[in-house]
Amino acid sequence: MNTSTEQKLEKIRAGRDLSVSDVCSIDELTVKDIELIFDLAREFKKSGTEKLTLLKGTTVFNAFFEDSTRTRSSFELAGKNLGADTINISGSNTSLKKGETMLDTTETLNALGAKALIVRTSKAGMPQFLAQHVRAAIISAGDGWHEHPSQALLDTFTITEKFGSLKGKNILITGDILHSRVAGSLMRAVLKLGGALRIAAPATFVPRGLEKVFPCKVFFDVEEALKGADVVYTLRVQEERGANGFIPTLREFSKAFGVSEKRFALANKDALLMHAGPVIRDIEVHSALVPHSRSMILTQVENGLAVRKALLWLLCDRCDKRVKDFQTL
Ligand code: CP
């Protein structure tokens, strides 16, 4: 017997499905896909951490070859709340260390009956490559400097929850754009959902020709960029990707681009402060702003659980359909 939550979720989902079987880039998703994910996430959010049976008997692997706190625990909890068997593997304890390729590792997990593989890797494009070779649904949990699609989905879900829609909203992303996969997915998602994109960063942190790929207004003065902003999305300096070589010092970066209470007051009165985490306090954002009444940092984490449940439920089912297609060939 389904719980009342499951009945509500089935009703929201009736007659609707994703157009994709993997989620490796925001580019692959249609607006309808995103609306379906958001509609389910709203219901999942109401259910909190209620134990459901939607993925009972399903195996999901979290394969994280780079460090993570939020994304890994969020996907793990999402799987467990849905009734799946979730298994975590990380770079330091796999046979990759013995020389096995990422594809052979992935095919091994696929052979163990995985319905979904959540992959975090330093190699841009690796999730798409793996998705071409295995039946399990591949969900990118971040690939190199490229994309982090589930982060952008939870970010835009959070903005939608607060403002109803992104249409016409000025979304400012500030900080280390160049090395940020969070920015890579968020820029795509903001534009797809009708937001107006602003970028504020030192010139060395702005990829050459950015405006041609992602229509946006680039500012080299964060105070100018903040005026009229509805969302202020701060990015940390990605030191693990060599970002320190692109700025004089972290202190200089913080002085010129760090978002303080005084600077945040330049944005619109109801503006949201956002950050994917981990926050490096007093560098990209001042410590006093982290618990601000309009800081969404922990709301983003909470919403991540709901959005990832929606993704897992939809994609594990897609995997079942893909297996059937394979069998009938
Ligand atoms: N936002 C994010 O990706 O955080 P983690 O690195 O902790 O997963």
Q: How far is the CA of 71 from the centre of ligand 1 (A)?
A: 5
- C-alpha 272, offset from chain centre: 18
Q: What is the DSSP string of 95-137?
A: GGGGT--HHHHHHHHHHTTEEEEEEEESSTTHHHHHHTT-SSE
Q: Provide the 3-class DSSP secondary structure of residue 153.
A: helix
Specify the pLDDT at position 320: 75
Specify the pLDDT at position 216: 98
The pair of structure tokens assigned to 308 is 């990832």
DSSP 8-state assignment for residue 274: E
Q: How far is the CA of 11 from the centre of ligand 1 (A)?
A: 32
- Which residue is closest in CA terms to ligand 1's atom 1? 276
Report d(CA 81, CA 306) in Å as an integer: 10
Q: How far is the CA of 107 from the centre of ligand 1 (A)?
A: 25
Q: How far is the CA of 236 from the centre of ligand 1 (A)?
A: 11
- Ligand 1 pocket at CB < 6 A: 68-71, 142, 148, 151, 276-278
Would you give per-residue pLDDT tens digits along the chain (329 residues)? 578 999 999 999 999 999 999 999 999 999 999 999 999 999 999 999 999 999 999 999 999 999 999 999 999 999 999 999 999 998 778 898 899 999 999 999 999 999 999 999 999 999 999 999 999 999 999 999 999 999 999 999 999 999 999 999 999 999 999 999 999 999 999 999 999 999 999 999 999 999 999 999 999 999 999 999 999 999 999 999 989 999 999 999 999 999 999 999 999 999 999 999 999 999 999 999 999 999 999 999 999 999 999 999 999 988 877 765 655 43
- Which residue is closest in CA terms to ligand 1's atom 4? 70
Report d(CA 41, CA 309) in Å as an integer: 7
pTM: 0.96
Report the atom number in ligand 1 closest to the C-alpha of 141: 3
Beta bridge partners of residue 117, listed in sequence order:
61, 138
- Which residue is closest in CA terms to ligand 1's atom 3? 71
Report the atom number in ligand 1 closest to the C-alpha of 276: 1
Q: How far is the CA of 232 from the centre of ligand 1 (A)?
A: 18
Q: Please give the torsion angle defined by the CA atoms of residues 294, 298, 301 and 305, in that order, rounded to the nearest 10 degrees.
A: -90
Q: Return the closest-CA partner of residue 112 out of 135, 95, 82, 141.
A: 135
Specify the pLDDT at position 254: 97
How buried is 306 (Cβ within 10 angstroms: 0-12 exposed, 13-18 middle, 19+ buried)? buried
Report d(CA 302, CA 19) in Å as an integer: 26
